[in-house]
Amino acid sequence: MTLTKQLLFLLPVGLLCLFDSRTLAQDLPVDKNASPATVRLYHHLKALSGKGFLFGHQDDLAYGVGWQYVPGRSDVKDVTGDYPALYGWELGRIELDHVVNIDSVPFDSMQQYIRTGYRRGGVITVSWHLNNPLTGGTAWQPAQGTVAAILPGGEKNALYKSWLDKVAAFFLSLKDDQGHPIPVIFRMFHECNGSWFWWGGKNCTPEELRQLWHFTVSYLRDEKQVHNLLYAYNTDRFTSADAWLERYPGDEWTDIAGFDIYQRGDNASFSTEFGRMLAMLDSIASAHNKIPALTEFGYNGVPDGSWWTGTFLNVLREHHVAYVMAWRNAGEKPGGHSEYYVPYKGQLSAEDFIRFYDSPLTLFQKDAEQAHLYR
């Protein structure tokens, strides 16, 4: 850890100590009975935003480009010598009692990876591409009336609750070496302004999604007594604060405010659009007292040798996010195309990724460990 990064971290930690304990007590996450470590993570993430951001990667410990399930391996670590500070995992198929998730990661291995990441002081976030409970299709197969059908009084409410029971059991099973619950950022119903998932865009009304959000939080928190969650609301690309807020569940129901973005065109147009969205997120997060985050991003194959510092960091340094999370390094996929968002050793952008790693603004595993995000 560089001296600059150390100073950066002493600041939020010091600030937390200086705070009047009543001020902190009043600013609690969605779950007023959240476990002590969850509340501490919430305050640390708040204090962090604007000073530096945690770097995260989906499925980092499970596989990368050209390898799978090699203990201790990580593409991020192969390139930088350090693990990410935040680890993303995915629950899709847990609702069907499958032993492996939608991307073939065994759920029991996932529990171990989560424990490993947490033991290192890292942060855990989880998404859920749950099947369509009305039709049995995938998350990407919307059908009119799905959200209404799973709300209380709907024909599939009992089925949806039975799926939540499995998700609750998974979260409750996550314990550290002392038996305390491991905090998790649950990124529910992600990219909800797009119409590709059954919960998003034109597939339900904003009010229906809000009801579903409230029902899901209440069920996990009050019915199942899951108290190790922070809740992240995130859209895909958006063009105005109103558009981002259209489906917003409300301040009492959200801890983290974010969006997802993928670069598909040139650097200049991406930078403009990305910067505009980050500026809107800065204002939304400060007006609503939420933790801003770039909940998912990527430039597939990173085909630009200076993208990390020249484009991505260049835009991010002007804004306030507590973390960023790159999507998964799936590698070769059936059909011959490949998908990866962080470099592997020797990849075109690997050297620039090391410069990105060295920036005082980016925090990886060693930084997270020293920052004691749960103390």
Q: Which amino acid is at 295?
A: T
> Which of 102, 130, 277, 278 is the binder for ligand BMA (CB under 6 A)?
102
296 has catalytic annotation: yes
Nearer to ligand BMA, 9 or 89 (CB): 89
Strand partners, 186: 126, 231
Using CA atoms, how far apart are residues 352 and 310, in angstroms rounded to an integer?
9
Residue 129 binds to ligand BMA (criterion: CB under 6 A) = yes
| Distance set, CA 115 to CA 36, 136, 238, 326 (Å) | 17, 32, 35, 20
Angle in degrees, CA 372, 55, 164, rounded to 5: 80
Minimum distance from residue 339 beta carbon to ligand BMA (Å) = 6
Return the closest-CA partner of residue 252 out of 29, 7, 25.
29
Residue closer to ligand BMA, measured from CB, 35 or 235: 235
Q: Is 232 or 373 the residue whose CB approaches ligand BMA more closely?
A: 232
Q: Applying CB under 6 A, does 95 fall inside the site for ligand BMA?
A: no
Residues 191-230 binding ligand BMA (CB under 6 A) are none
Say if residues 368 and 362 touch (Cβ distance below 8 Å): no
Q: How far apart are CA 365 and CA 134, in angstroms?
A: 41
Kindly name the residue from 90, 95, 191, 208 that is annotated as catalytic: 191
**Residue-level length of the chain:** 375
Q: Which of 60, 75, 82, 90 binds ligand BMA (CB under 6 A)?
A: 90
Q: Between residue 302 and residue 361, which ones bind ligand BMA under the rule CB under 6 A?
A: 328, 330
Active site residue 191: yes
Residue entry with tokens 């649950």 = 186
103 binds ligand BMA per the rule CB under 6 A: yes
Q: What whole-number distance in Å separates Cα of residue 175 and Cα of residue 361? A: 30
CB of 101 to ligand BMA, least distance (A): 8
Active-site residues, by number, are: 191, 296
Residues that bind ligand BMA (CB under 6 A): 90, 92, 102-103, 129, 328, 330
